């Protein structure tokens, strides 16, 4: 008998707690026996029956407030397949669908009953047993407005309603650490968010909560987050946090191998300060099409050229950020500040595009024979990908603007930390 090659995707049920195993091509027919072989599982099919040869069990998941799916980058490696997702903003939903074409992305406002019901219906239809929820944090973040009445603070209640409606086996909720100290009006009273979670879900779930720093989970970035881990009580055991790894991945280890780049100076009359700009830019693009410098104004570039690694230009005696009258501009001590090579990077925020924000500037290196420092610029998109623990081949869509990419990375959840937390469940 000849050999035929077919391409298709199929879900096969298993006998374990209604979980399903996802099988993706290719499919070979050899001597009347069909062998399905892919990078996820291997099955034999004969006489209309499916035989598990060497497979991995997957738990279907739902992602709420999904952004572009940064948090779930590695979830499929630890047994979770996100089959339904919800995101408010159309450009982010489109980005998400590009990264996860097989996922049912529901774009819209979860507070809209039509959207909410669609999330519930699709999750029921797909037997969702895992939820990851990362509600917006701008109303609670120290980098945001810290407004206790910000309507985005109340989106956590919709996540709670979804959990109560679906009753998944496991839930991971993530937010800024200030969430633990934030109160919202609930049932006519101002209550701390952790108390609402305990009150509404504590009867059915073991609840573990902790403020983690992602640098202790293999991420080359200091990023403190409040994490809630929920395990349904019929699982028999709580979902506990993995131990910290004290071996910190430094910025040197994460991006130290990448070629140095000069900034693109906005003012034409100062561009001759960097005669090797184009040569360096080409070397950067040979590494990745996302390793290119952002434009900056000369006054910011100049002060950072005179600023050592790990220091703020505010500490300079001559070259510091000035107003037109020559006095120092206002702002926090950690603005106009370079990162440090021998530490994990500071928290990447949604303001990662500007030199004047919190410790956004490349660490730089002392230029031999001078008192100047290289790379007076913010991190490139590619450097931020590494700092966020994203893979080098992260498939950014061609249509995405630099501002969109920087925004979603700054608001993302480091996926390696998520993987380390989820893998303790040993779903496979």
Write the CATH number for 195. 3.40.50.150
Specify the pairing of strand 224-232 against strand 205-213: antiparallel
* 117 and 238 share one domain: yes
State mean pLDDT over 146-172.
Answer: 85
B/e letters for 297-311, b = 16+ CB within 10 Å, e = fewer, are eeebbbbbbbbbbeb
Q: Give the whole-angstrom CA distance, residue 376 versus residue 360.
A: 10
State mean pLDDT over 113-125.
Answer: 98
> Any idea which residue has 């040993």 for tokens?
426
pLDDT recorded at residue 29? 34
End-to-end Cα distance, the chain? 36
* 117 and 25 share one domain: no
Q: Give the whole-angstrom CA distance, residue 240 versus residue 220.
A: 23
Q: Peptide bond before 26: cis, by omega within 30 degrees of 0? A: yes
pLDDT recorded at residue 182? 74
Q: If we measure between CA atoms, which residue out of 333, 336, 372, 328 comes closest to residue 354? A: 336
Residue 409 lies in a domain: no
- Between residues 202 and 10, the one the model is more confident about: 202
Asked if residue 93 has pLDDT above 70, the reply is yes
10 Å Cβ neighbour count for 24?
16
* 78 and 126 share one domain: yes
Residue 400 lies in a domain: no
- Per the prediction, the chain carries an average pLDDT of 87
Number of separate domains in the chain: 3
pLDDT recorded at residue 56? 64
For the segment 316-345, what is each residue's pLDDT rounded down to a tens digit? 999 999 998 999 999 999 999 999 999 999
Q: Give the whole-angstrom CA distance, residue 162 versus residue 226.
A: 20
Q: If we measure between CA atoms, which residue out of 119, 123, 122 comes closest to residue 158? A: 119
State mean pLDDT over 202-213.
Answer: 97
Residues in CB range of 235: below 8 A, 6 or more apart: 169, 170, 206
Asked if residue 139 has pLDDT above 80, the reply is no
pLDDT recorded at residue 43? 46
pLDDT recorded at residue 57? 73
- The lowest-confidence range among 139-148, 265-274, 360-369, 379-388 is 139-148
pLDDT recorded at residue 26? 43
State mean pLDDT over 12-31.
Answer: 42
Give the 3-state secondary structure of residue 105: strand
For the segment 339-394, what is each residue's pLDDT rounded down to a tens digit? 999 999 999 999 999 999 999 999 999 999 999 999 999 999 999 999 999 999 99
303, 319, 357 from 328: Cα distances, Å? 12, 10, 15
Residue 406 lies in a domain: no
* 224 and 109 share one domain: yes
Residue 23 lies in a domain: yes
Q: If we measure between CA atoms, which residue out of 247, 179, 214, 174 comes closest to residue 345? A: 214
For the segment 42-90, what is each residue's pLDDT rounded down to a tens digit? 444 444 333 444 456 789 999 999 999 999 999 999 999 999 999 999 9
295, β-bridge pairs: 264
State mean pLDDT over 100-114.
Answer: 97
Asked if residue 143 has pLDDT above 60, the reply is no
pLDDT recorded at residue 148? 56
- Contact criterion met (CB below 8 Å) for 310 and 339: yes
Residues in CB range of 23: below 8 A, 6 or more apart: 9, 10, 11, 12, 36, 38, 40, 41, 43
Q: Is 31 a catalytic residue?
A: no
Range of the domain at 286: 262-379
pLDDT recorded at residue 11? 44
pLDDT recorded at residue 6? 38
* 348 and 363 share one domain: yes
Tell me the helix, strand and coil percentages in the chain, rounded to 5: 30, 25, 45
What percentage of the chain exceeds 70 in pLDDT? 82
Token pair for 163: 């959990």
Residue 306 lies in a domain: yes
Token pair for 317: 């005696």
* 223 and 328 share one domain: no
- Contact criterion met (CB below 8 Å) for 377 and 363: no
- Contact criterion met (CB below 8 Å) for 263 and 377: yes
Residue 322 lies in a domain: yes
> Any idea which residue has 């200091």 for tokens?
222
Q: Give the whole-angstrom CA distance, residue 5 versus residue 289.
A: 35
Residue 399 lies in a domain: no
* 82 and 186 share one domain: yes
DSSP 180: G
* 139 and 171 share one domain: yes
pLDDT recorded at residue 185? 77
* 78 and 204 share one domain: yes
Specify the pairing of strand 189-192 against strand 130-133: unpaired
* 174 and 37 share one domain: no
CA 9 to chain CA centroid, nearest Å: 27
10 Å Cβ neighbour count for 37?
17
* 23 and 114 share one domain: no
* 223 and 272 share one domain: no
Residue 256 lies in a domain: no
Q: Give the whole-angstrom CA distance, residue 313 versus residue 21.
A: 55
Token pair for 173: 């909720």
Q: If we measure between CA atoms, which residue out of 36, 19, 390, 394 comes closest to residue 219? A: 390
Asked if residue 263 has pLDDT above 50, the reply is yes
For the whole model, what pTM was predicted?
Answer: 0.85
Q: Give the whole-angstrom CA distance, residue 270 versus residue 233.
A: 65
């Amino acid at each position: 008998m000849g050999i035929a090659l077919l391409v298709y995707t199929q879900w096969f049920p298993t006998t374990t707690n209604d979980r399903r195993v996802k099988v993706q091509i290719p499919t070979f027919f050899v001597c009347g026996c069909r062998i399905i072989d892919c990078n996820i599982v291997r099955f034999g099919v004969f006489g209309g029956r499916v035989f598990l040869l060497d497979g991995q069990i997957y738990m279907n998941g739902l992602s709420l407030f999904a952004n572009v799916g940064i948090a779930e980058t590695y979830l499929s490696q630890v047994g979770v397949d996100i089959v339904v997702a919800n995101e408010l903003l159309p450009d982010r939903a489109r980005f998400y669908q590009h990264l996860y074409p097989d996922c049912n992305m529901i774009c819209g406002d979860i507070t809209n009953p039509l959207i909410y019901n669609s999330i519930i219906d699709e999750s029921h239809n797909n037997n969702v047993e895992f939820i990851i929820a990362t509600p917006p944090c701008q109303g609670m973040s120290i980098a945001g407005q810290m407004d206790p009445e910000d309507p985005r603070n109340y989106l956590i209640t919709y996540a709670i309603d979804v959990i109560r409606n679906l009753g998944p086996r496991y839930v991971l909720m993530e937010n800024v650490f200030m969430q633990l100290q934030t109160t919202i009006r609930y049932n006519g009273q101002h209550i701390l968010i952790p108390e609402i979670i305990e009150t509404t879900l504590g009867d059915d779930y073991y609840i573990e909560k902790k403020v983690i720093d992602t640098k202790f989970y293999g991420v080359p970035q200091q990023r403190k987050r409040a994490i809630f881990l929920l395990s349904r009580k019929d699982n028999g055991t709580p979902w506990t946090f993995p131990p910290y790894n004290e071996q910190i991945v430094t910025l040197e280890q994460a991006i130290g191998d990448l070629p140095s780049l000069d900034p693109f100076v906005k003012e034409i009359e100062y561009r001759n300060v960097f005669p090797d700009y184009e040569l360096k830019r080409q070397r950067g693009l040979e590494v990745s099409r996302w390793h290119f410098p952002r434009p900056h104004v000369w006054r910011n570039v100049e002060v950072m050229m005179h600023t050592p690694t790990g220091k703020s230009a505010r500490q300079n005696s001559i070259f510091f950020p000035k107003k037109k009258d020559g006095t120092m501009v206002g702002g926090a001590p950690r603005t106009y500040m370079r990162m440090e090579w021998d530490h994990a990077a500071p928290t990447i925020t949604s303001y990662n595009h500007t030199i004047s924000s919190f410790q956004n500037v490349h660490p730089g290196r002392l230029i031999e024979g001078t008192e100047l420092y290289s790379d007076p610029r913010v991190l490139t998109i590619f450097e931020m990908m590494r700092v966020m623990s994203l893979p080098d081949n992260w498939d950014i869509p061609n249509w995405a603007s630099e501002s969109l990419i920087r925004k979603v990375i700054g608001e993302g959840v480091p996926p390696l930390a998520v993987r380390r937390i989820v893998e303790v469940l040993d779903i496979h």
